[in-house]
Every structure is written in C-alpha cells, then in structure tokens.
Amino acid sequence: MRFTTKSMLMALAGSTMLAGTATAELTGDLKIFLDTSNPAPRATMEKMIADFGAEHPGLNIETTVIDREAYKTQIRNFLTADAPDVATWYAANRMSPYVKAGLFEDVSDLWAEPAIADNLASTKGAMTIDGKQWGVPYTYYQWGIYYRKDIYEELGLNEPATFEEMKSNCQAILDSGRKCYTIGTKFLWTAGGWFDYLNMRTHGFDFHMELANGDVKWTDDRVKQTFANWRELIDMGAFVDNHQNYSWQESLPFIVNGEAAAILKGNFAVAPLREAGLDDGKLDFYQFPEITPGIALAEDAPTDTFHIPANASNKEAAREFLRFVVSANVQSEINNGANLGQLPVNAGSTVDDDKFLNEGFTMLSENSPGGVAQFFDRDFPAEMAAEAMQGLQEFMVFPDNLDDILKRLDKVQERVYK
C-alpha cells in the first residue's frame, strides 16, 4: 500500500525535535520516500520530517510511505525513472547494487564534516564502498549475549572476556544439567549470527568482509579455523538439542525456564524475554568475548539508512536533511522508547533509561573499535547468504559434513560473484 502526505510545515516550528543549527534558506521541492510503513516508525519519520520542514519553511516537502516489502521490489525502478531526493534503505552489501549501478549519490563530503566524522565513526565502515560513503545511518541495534544472571551467580561464573573463559563457563553450565545456549535455526538466519561473531573474533572485521565480498574462498584454512572454534562448542553440547526444529521465538522458553543459560541475539529479544518473566534482575548482557588476542572487537549492528539518489533534483536540501537526521538531538528523539526504541548512531546522543539500550550504546560507541557489520544476510549477497546459511545450519547438526559444505559454498561463490 502506498500513502502520500504533504508536510504541514509552519504549524510545527516549536517542535522539540529540531536540530538547532542555523542553515542557509532552502527552497523548492524535497521528495522523500520511506519504507517505514509500520505505524510507530512511520509516525516517527513523518514527525521528524515535519520538524525539518519547520526549520525550512521555504521547502515544499512531499513524503511518500511505501509498504516495506513492496519498497524492496520498487526501489530500483524509482531510483532509475523518477527518483525522489531522499530514500530509506540499508547499509553495507544491501546498498552495494545501487552504488555499483550509479543510483546512489556519493556523500563523502558530509562524512568529512567534523559533526559527522567525529560522532558517527562506528558506522562509517557500513556506509563505505570503494572508499566513499553513500548515505547516512539513522538507527541501529546491538547484538550480543543475553544471559541468565541468576544462573551465573548460582554457579559462581563471571562474564567471560575470552573464548577460553566462555568455554570454561559453558562446561560449568553443562555440568549443572543445563545447556549453555538456546538457539532456533529453523529459519536459518540465527546460525548466521554465530558465524559472524566467531569469524570476526577469530580473524577480524576486514577478513569477514573479504569473505562477504567473495575475495576469500570458503575452503580457506582461515575459514576452517572459524568453524573449528565453533565445533568446540558443538562438541561440548553447548546448544539446545533439535534447534533446527525451532524458530528463534520458539527457542526462548529454554532460557526463560532455566534449561539454557544464554542466547546470542539482537536487542529485539529483550521485550519477549521480559514479557515471559525475566526482569532485569535475572537477565543481563555481555559483549561476545575475544577469541584471537589483538583482534579488534567488531559487532553486528544492523543499520537502517537514508540515501540521496543520484538522479535527485534537490541535492542541496537533501544533504541538509541528512545532516539533520544524524544530529545528536534528533538521533536521541527518534530512537527513544516511544519512537523507534533502538540506538542513536550519533555518539553524542542520549539514550532512554533502559539497561540494555544503554549497554548497547556504550558498546557500539566506545567498545567496538573493529567496526560494525550488518549481519550475515545483509553483508553477503542474497543468493550467497541463502546457500551459506543452509550450510551453517547443516554444520551445526552434522559437523562432520564441513568439508563437503565448504566445497559446495565455493561453487556457489564462483557463480554468485563472477
């Protein structure tokens, strides 16, 4: 479904969401396409756009909201034929086809400005292709290990800082009659999260991206080392049994009931865990620990973005809108719990008084020097991701199949990247 609204500019001049920076007067039309069709994010984006319009009354802003799934099928057509001035999308590999087709504007000039360069450093890599930046982020969320604090306390365990400590904790948990981690791989992508972290902790962000870009073979010995680390956990019995039969939601009762001690997941898992009875006294969070000493810690933090189409008509106003979106107070406002309920990308923003949002914000802003990945099925091309995630699930169930899996993925890689 498609909705079109005209921003009511003058009536909102007193809004609390204003960026508060003086800019040159902007005129003309500014067309913005959004894929934020769900009620809460749609209202947040429309409010933010109206606030920008209140700062620039000479602009006529037209906002078009398109259902997210329909947007994915329409984006190439509208970028090519009748491009808006600003459009939402996603970071990293998901923007690559439109960058390589010349459909997104190079906005490296914005990233050279101190207000962006100094405050959005953790997301720069996700916005960079061929050494240039092609948009700005507006929200992201952390991944990490959510664990039963009461079980760790019962067993005298601390949050692990290294893989050896992680395995030692796991053995103590297994000895207590519990599983270390719950996971549901019925829909495959959850196994991708484990591969992301094991690969980035074993070899670093750059290597992970080289594999994602097809520059490293799956049969490379370094990739095999990542799987060897993973197999240590599998052979211990760290994961719940029959996980291939569960969705991630169906795997939650294992941690809620105390049959498993932790889950590697994005922050979206917190709400259902809280609703199931795990208050903040029982549930806690830690950053996936170091595996290879000296490898800078990188994180999965899926990022939603704004871009200026190469065929945009009002690029001056579009650039000013991107500056507005990433400013500290706008970021604080749109990402608060009443709006998107995620993390601001600006390190100078404030975060709602929520335990996990604050821990995630600190981790991504201060403790992730290795960079920010977008998650397996965003960083790898779609066909490669689909085949590889099937292989990752197969490996978790039948780890002896690894050599055959990797050879098969090499063949897929040759087809996808040629």
Whether residue 62 has pLDDT greater than 60: yes
User: Among 138, 133, 33, which residue's Cα sits nearest to residue 76?
Assistant: 33
Give how far Cα 335 sits from Cα of 11, 41, 363, Å: 23, 10, 17
- Give mean pLDDT, residues 98-103: 97
- Count of Cβ atoms closer than 10 Å to residue 65 Cβ: 23
Whether residue 23 has pLDDT greater than 90: no
- Give mean pLDDT, residues 322-347: 94
Please give the radius of gyration of the chain, using alpha carbons only, rounded to the nearest integer. 22
Q: Which residues contact 49 (CB under 8 A, 6 or more apart)?
A: 7, 32, 61, 63
Are 2-140+303-349 and 143-300+374-417 equal in CATH topology? yes
DSSP 8-state assignment for residue 370 = T
Phi, psi angles (nearest 5°) of residue 110 = -65, -40
The pLDDT assigned to 21 comes to 42
The band of 10, judged by pLDDT with boundaries at 50, 70 and 90, is very low
Which residue blocks in 183-306 are alpha helix, DSSP H?
Answer: 189-203, 205-212, 221-236, 248-256, 270-275
Q: What percent of the chain has pLDDT over 90?
A: 84
Least confident residue range of 11-15, 172-176, 239-243, 389-393: 11-15
Q: How far apart are CA 3 and CA 52, in angstroms?
A: 20
The band of 69, judged by pLDDT with boundaries at 50, 70 and 90, is confident
The pLDDT assigned to 333 comes to 96
Give how far Cα 151 sits from Cα of 193, 251, 284, 311, 405, Å: 24, 18, 11, 56, 36
The pLDDT assigned to 125 comes to 87
pLDDT tens digits, 162-186: 999 999 999 999 999 999 999 999 9
Q: How far apart are CA 27 and CA 25, in angstroms?
A: 7
- Coil, helix or strand at residue 102: coil
User: Among 99, 88, 97, 92, which residue's Cα sits nearest to residue 123?
Assistant: 92
* DSSP β-ladder status, 283-286 and 179-181: unpaired
Q: Which residues contact 38 (CB under 8 A, 6 or more apart)?
A: 68
User: Among 385, 333, 307, 251, which residue's Cα sits nearest to residue 107?
Assistant: 307
- Coil, helix or strand at residue 68: helix
The pLDDT assigned to 38 comes to 86
User: Which H/E stretch holds residue 206?
Assistant: helix 205-212
The region, left, alpha or beta by phi > 0 then psi within -120 to 50, assigned to residue 294 is left
The band of 24, judged by pLDDT with boundaries at 50, 70 and 90, is low
The pLDDT assigned to 19 comes to 42
- Give the angle subtended at the CA of 380 by the CAs of 403 and 417, to the nearest 5°: 80
- Count of Cβ atoms closer than 10 Å to residue 238 Cβ: 22
Domain positions in the chain:
2-140+303-349, 143-300+374-417
Whether residue 97 has pLDDT greater than 80: yes
Mean pLDDT of the chain: 92
Whether residue 2 has pLDDT greater than 90: no
Does CATH number 3.40.190.10 belong to domain 2-140+303-349? yes
Q: What percent of the chain has pLDDT over 70?
A: 94
Q: How far apart are CA 355 and CA 280, in angstroms?
A: 8
pLDDT tens digits, 339-389: 898 999 999 999 988 999 999 999 998 889 998 899 999 899 889 999 999
143-300+374-417: CATH topology is: D-Maltodextrin-Binding Protein; domain 2 (3.40.190)
pTM of the model: 0.83
Q: Which residues contact 129 (CB under 8 A, 6 or more apart)?
A: 95, 96, 99, 100
- Give mean pLDDT, residues 140-166: 97
Q: How far apart are CA 362 and CA 347, in angstroms?
A: 9
